[in-house]
Each structure stands twice: as C-alpha cells, then as structure tokens.
Structure 1
Amino acid sequence: MSSIDPTTTTIETEADSASAPPDVRHGVLRRTFRAKRAWIGAIALALITLWAFVGPLLAPYNATDSDVLAFGAAPGGGHWFGTNDIGQDVYAQTLVGLQKSIIIGLIAGPLATLIAGFVGAIAGYFGGVADRVIVWVIDLLLVIPSFFILVLVSPIFKQLSWVALVVLISVFSWMIMARVVRGQTMSLRERDFVKAARYMGVKPLTIIRRHIIPNVASLLIIDATLGVGAAIIFESTLSYFGFGIQVPDVSLGSLLASYSNAAVTRPWLFALPAATLIATVLATSLLGDAFRDAIDPTSGANRD
C-alpha cells in the first residue's frame, strides 16, 4: 500500500486550484459590450472587413482595369469613387488597399503583443542577467526612433513581400507592453501558486505558460486589439512616404500618397481612401478602448 505525503498533496491542490485565474472571459466580454462604443466599434469593424473582402466581388471594375472613356472621372455611374488619370477605378483600388492594411494590422498587432508577452514574462520571471539584458534592449529600442530605423532598412526589404514589413512593424512595436508584462510578472512570481509550482519542480517555461501568461492575458488582449489600429497607421505612414508597400501591391497609405497632389482639384481621390483609413482605425480603437475599460473600470468610468 503506497503512502501519501499530505504536504505534497496540499501543495499540489493549491497549485492546481490557482494555476490559472478565475475564468473571467465571459465577465469581461459582458462588461465590454455594455458600452455603446464597443458595439459601434465591433459592428463597424465587421462591416468594414466584410466590405473589404466581399466588395471587390460586387464591383463592376477591378483595381487594374482602365476605362478609356472615364479618365479622371468624378464619383458616379459605374465608378463609385471616381477614376484616376488613367481611368482606373478608385473604389476597387481602395478595397484592395483596405484588404492589405487589414491583413497587416491583424497580423502585426497580435504578433507584437505575442513578442511583448513572451519577452516581458521571461525578464520578470528570471530576473538577474536576463532581466538586465532585456531591459537594456527595450530601453535602446524605445530611445531609437523606430520610424527612421524602418526607413533606413526598407531598401533591403523592398524586393521582399509585404510579410517582411509585417515582421518589421512587429519588431518595433512590442517594447512598452513588454515593460508592463515584466512588472506584472515580477509581482506574480512571488504569489503562492507560482511558488508552489516552483517547489514542485515545474519547469520555468511551463510556469510562465500556465501561471504567468493567463494572469496577464487581459492586458495582452487590450494591447493586441489596440495594436491592430496602430499597425495599420504605422504601415500607412510608411507606405505614404514610399517605404512600405511597393508596386504592384497597394495599401491605403500608398493610395493616399498617389492622390495627395489631387486633394484640392479632385478631392474624392484623396478624401475617400483617407475616410476609409480613419473609419478602420477608429473602429479598432473603440473596441480596444471598451476592452480596456471592461478590465479596468476606473480607466474610463461614466464615459457611456
């Protein structure tokens, strides 16, 4: 008959019961969608995404077609956003650019959050040399203007696909959240359930995955949501100045750059892609803001 160590059993029970925070996901979602701006942001973002990917299928022209009978035409008829100087449909171009901007935002934002969560948890949990090195790298990247670094390295990546741009945006977008996660991890590693897991011989990376990350998941969700809009703005800015999406690809930023000279004489060429960009970023910001207030109600009390 095997004996049972009551001390080990107690520690195992404590660790199991506290290995993850209470399941607050449903509560967070419920509080999030009590705010009107959450519904506005979610519905707007869903409609914009649907429009971006279904709209081209319903449009009478594609982004590369040239209508020889409608050079520089105003919105109307079959060209809902008008045409450019060579008769290309601006509506179709806007939707193609919107697709690329949404895809880049949806990949780069969460990827930057993933990097921040992993790096911040490693620094906060291990401390010592690892923490000092990571903090030094974070401080260095925060001091160096990321936009100018991307401008300098962009010629190297011009021949590569837009995936390289996604990686670059992610690499320069994780530092602030990594500092937040590091601070939370330094507090969590002293909690009883983390100590219990450590005494039981659980590997550090397993502790980070099972105990640390779930306890900072709410912060990471907020960062990922807001990061989508930030990544879209970042990509659009780079593309506007010619350092982002390259021909034959198109994004909202490159469209704005192409049509900026016509902003006064033919304002629809510039204004309609710009309005699309603003609406997309605003929708993601509203949703992320509602998530933040649901998790930290004191951050935006009585705003709705």
Structure 2
Amino acid sequence: MSLLNPELVESSEHVEGAHQTDAVNSRLAQIWRRLRSTPRFWVGAIALLLICLWALFGLALYPWSATDQDGLAFSQGPSASHWFGTNGIGQDLYAQTIIGLQKSLLVGLIVGPAAALIAGFVGAISGYVGGVWDRVIVWFIDLLLVLPSFYILVLLSPTFKNASIVALILFLALFGWMVLARVVRGQTMSLREREYVKAARYMGVGGLTIVRRHIIPNVASLLIIDATLGVGAAILSETALSFFGFGIQPPDVSLGTLLSAGSSAAVTRPWLFVFPSAVLILTVLATSLIGDALRDAVDPTSGATRD
C-alpha cells in the first residue's frame, strides 16, 4: 500500500511543473530582451523575411516563367525584359532564380528544424535513461558520424530521382542531427540530477513526461540556435549536392543547379553565375546573422570568447 496520497502527489506535480514552466518562461523572456537589442538579429531577420517574401511573390507580376523560352534572346545579358538575363536556350534567369530560391528555402526551412527535433529527442532520451540503452544510442550516433554521408547519397541518388527533393530533405535531416544529439545528451545527464527531476521521478512521473516537461524546455535554447543555423547549413548542403549532380536534378531548378550550369560561363556570361550566387550568399548570411545573435543572447560570454 502506497504511503503517498495520490491527490497530494498530483498537486505537488502540478506545482513543480508550474514552477519549472515559470523558470523556462523567464529564461526565454531574458533571451528575447537580449535578442531584440542586438542589431544583427534585426538585420538578419528583416533580410530573411524580405527574401522569403521575394521567393513567394517575386513572380506574381513577372511576364516570364522558369520554363518559358525567348527565341529572340539567347544568352542575353540583364535587360528591361529579362532582369537577370537569359541562358543559352533563352530561359529567363530571374524566374529560374526565384524557383531555385523557393526549392532551397524549402529544403533549409524543413531540414534545419527537423534535424534539431531529432537531436533533441534522441539526445534527451539517451541522457535520461542511461545504462545499456544510452551506450547503444551513443554507439549508433558515433556510427552515423563516421559514415561518409556524401557517398551514401551518391549511391542512393539514382533510386530517388523521381522524388529527389523529398529524398534530399529526408537525407539531410537524417544525417544532420548527431553532433547536437551528443551535446543534448551531456546537458540531460546534468539535468537529470537536479532536485526537481528527482522529485518528479520519486512521485512516479513517467520518463517521457519528465523529458517533455523538464528536460526539453531546458535545452530548448540549444535546439532553437541549431535549428536556425541549420537552415543556412542545409541550404549550402543542398546547393553543393545539386552542384555536383547528386541533389535536385534538371529539369528541376535549385540554386545549386543554376550555379552548376553557370559556372562554366562565369567569365563569358557572368550573369548566369553572379545572380544565383549572390542570392545564395545573402540567404545564408541572413540565417547566420540570426543564429549568431541567438547564440550570443543565450550565452552572452560567447561573443567575448570569440573576440
């Protein structure tokens, strides 16, 4: 027979959860106060917002689509009718850049948060349960870290040619979470020794509930930073893979395929390479500014360390 009053246990659990929620909310409010006073956050956020709006509405009133061909404008430079010029078969580069940006943003905005979520869940479970399961999960993480992910994609790319963007998103998300998972595991091993976690465990709260209610909120700042930085990293990864012919494949368009097609003409027809590369640089720079500002807001000493 239990010596604990179930109603008292439930009440204590709710009180403890409320205190923990208040602490997390206070921490997030403090991070937001630091963040909103950081100029580079606003520069990056406004730039990324404008880039996303441009990707969504940039072709709304434009007369050319990415597949249209102008028989009178082969390899034409930027003009009033073709803002970014045309390629060798008369296709409008501005329209293709917009479509490529849409694909790259789609990959980045899905892969970055997805990889962070996987890392948070796996790392928190591994660090909390400990024992044999922890060793198995760590072994699996280490195995994925040493696998040559690029060559695996090379082997799998012929199989997924008809669903290249879906396969690419899945691949980048499944191979982009391991390092953060080890960090979250280390944080969780420290958090599980805190008094409120021990109290919840003593009161019979389930492990998954403890992870969801007490562990994940305390590592949320790490996950948010990684998700933000992961957007830019995923865009660069997609661009690099598509550049080498292992990501999005023609006739689909991404920034990587445009850079691949324009690299051979970078000297003779520079607009084919300059405009897609400029869009890529601005997009990655905007996400990097946001991620860097987030990191400094979470850990104010990180900026001083870098300096």
Q: Which amino acid aligns with 2:161?
A: K
Residue pair 2:127, 2:134 contacting (<8 A) in 1 also: yes
Match among 175, 179, 199 for residue 176 of structure 1? 179
Paired with 1:103 and 1:170, the residues of 2 have a C-alpha distance of 13
Residue pair 1:102, 1:232 contacting (<8 A) in 2 also: yes
Residue pair 1:123, 1:182 contacting (<8 A) in 2 also: yes
Residue pair 2:41, 2:293 contacting (<8 A) in 1 also: yes
Q: CA deviation at 1:177?
A: 0.4
Give the structure 2 partner of residue 70 of structure 1.
73
1:3-49 residue CA offsets vs partner (Å, 9 max, x unmatched): 99598589546633444333122321221121111111001100111
Q: Which runs of 4+ in 1 moved over 2 A?
A: 3-22, 24-27, 301-304
Please state whether the residue corresponding to 1:45 is helix, strand or coil.
Answer: helix
Residue pair 1:15, 1:194 contacting (<8 A) in 2 also: no
Paired with 2:181 and 2:259, the residues of 1 have a C-alpha distance of 33
Q: CA deviation at 1:149?
A: 1.9
Whether 2:111 is the aligned partner of 1:137: answer no
Q: Which amino acid aligns with 2:237?
A: F
1:285-304 maps to which residues of 2 (within 5 A)?
285-301=288-304
Whether 2:143 is the aligned partner of 1:147: answer no
Identify unmatched segments of 5+ residues in structure 2. Answer: none
Give TM-score, length-normalised by structure 1: 0.94
Residue pair 2:74, 2:87 contacting (<8 A) in 1 also: yes
Match among 248, 258, 261 for residue 245 of structure 1? 248
Match among 281, 284, 288 for residue 287 of structure 2? 284
Query: CA-atom RMSD, angstroms?
Result: 2.1
Identify unmatched segments of 5+ residues in structure 1. Answer: none
Residue pair 1:236, 1:254 contacting (<8 A) in 2 also: yes
Give the structure 1 partner of residue 58 of structure 2.
55
Paired with 1:163 and 1:280, the residues of 2 have a C-alpha distance of 21
Whether 2:236 is the aligned partner of 1:233: answer yes
Q: 79-88 or 154-163: which moved more?
A: 154-163
Q: Which amino acid aligns with 1:15?
A: E
Give the structure 1 partner of residue 24 of structure 2.
22
1:150-187 residue CA offsets vs partner (Å, 9 max, x unmatched): 22222221122411210100011000100010000001
Between the aligned residues of both structures, percent identity stands at 65
Give TM-score, length-normalised by structure 2: 0.93
Q: CA deviation at 1:102?
A: 0.3
1:10–1:87 distance in 2 versus 1, CA, 3 Å: closer
Q: CA deviation at 1:131?
A: 0.8
Residue pair 1:14, 1:193 contacting (<8 A) in 2 also: no
